[in-house]
Amino acid sequence: MKHEILAPLVGESITEVSILKWTKQNGQAVKSGEVLLEIESDKATVEIVAEHSGALTILKNDGERVAVKSVIAFIDDSVAGTAGVSSAKAPPPPPSSGVKAPPAPPAASASSIEALSPAVRKAVVENNVNPAQVQGSGKDGRILKGDVMAFIASGGARSAPTSAQLPKLNDKPGDRRVPMPSIRKRIAERLVFAQHTAAILTTFNEVDMKPVQDVRAQHKDAFEKKYGVKLSFMSFFTRACTLALKQLPAVNASIDNGDIVYHDYCDVGVAVGTERGLVVPVVRGADQMTFAEIEKGIGELALKARNNKLSIADMSGGTFTISNGGTYGSLLSTPILNPPQSGILGMHKIMDRPVAINGKVEIRPMMYLALSYDHRIIDGKEAVTFLVAVKDLLENPTKLGLEFI
């Protein structure tokens, strides 16, 4: 019996996914429970596991975009399959019967209303978008709903039909054109959306990191021995932010259809850089965690991110984000909000600088902090007060409740 393998439904708004790579070969014998392939959506990477044993027949190859719930392969449990020496290519077409099939009608233009899927057509009509102005990212340039949403977020829907469009680049020797990965498109879409829908401001402060460095140096070995995880700066910053968020709940809030939604919990997103782009997995209930639990939670999510194992659930539902550009040497930056969140803290590189301490100049390890916030619900006073609270907690780490001491 042949068992179909379908492209998974990985989110309500996602209609297409990409086949990242097959881990098995065409015609190879597979066993129930083995990983067959990785699927990439615009939010996460998902592994597809065999539900039956038998011979694998691959219908869609690496790099192809396919509709969710479409058949991408099947497993025949009546066939033993090979040891996996054949290449992972789609099976050749059946022998020709000698009768030529009538030519297929020409495909409708990617920019015509008739060529659009129902979901895309609805988005185009409701938002008064000219599909000819939307750059399609689907197969053969087909327009996806995400393309329309990104076009709207970029302000394109408000442009007159006669507005000038950016010219298409003419490739020259030395240029290399590759398709933009789905996750990169999603990142771009969200950043543009944030810039065009929120009133983003950034306020800055600096923190003397010597007190935290002293605590960490004194207790890091015992901490790692006791809990099996390293004591990093991230747990100090996460604890400081959750305490400050309790004092300034607007920084932990969101806007939803004209309402302000206050969150009486702190689900903290931690930005992680990967080869495929920046992802922000969420440490849930961070305000209820110990230092060791925070470190373990961040470590597990970072490992999953770098191994492309994050699920959609891992990256959904955060209330506040921390981004550590200092890991890459950034001295100062203005982070962009992660919608629908209203605040994001940017950490930066620790630099020895001369500062005035009790009337004397001393060299101290200083870090610039940046808080970007949505001015629609957070006033400047609240933003500055939040950042000052974080600074005070870090410069007086005993206020953090160092339960590991």
Catalytic member of 196, 214, 221, 375: 375
Cross-strand pairs, 67: 16
What's the distance, CA 309 to chain centroid? 12
Query: What span, in angstroms and rounded, lies between the C-alpha atoms of 144 and 27?
Result: 33
CA angle 24, 28, 29 (to 5 degrees): 105
Q: Which of 42, 264, 379, 392 is catalytic?
A: 379
Reply yes or no on whether 375 is catalytic. Answer: yes
Alpha helices for 63-181 (secondary structure H):
118-126, 145-153
Answer whether 342's CB lies under 8 Å from 253's CB. Answer: yes
**In the structure encoding, which two tokens stand for residue 286, read together?**
């961070």
Cis peptide before 335 (omega within 30 of 0): no
* E-assigned strand segments in 250-394: 254-256, 259-261, 268-270, 272-274, 277-279, 282-283, 320-324, 343-347, 351-357, 360-374
Helical segments of 178-283, H only: 182-197, 210-227, 233-247
Catalytic site residue 52? no
Q: Which residues are catalytic?
A: 375, 379
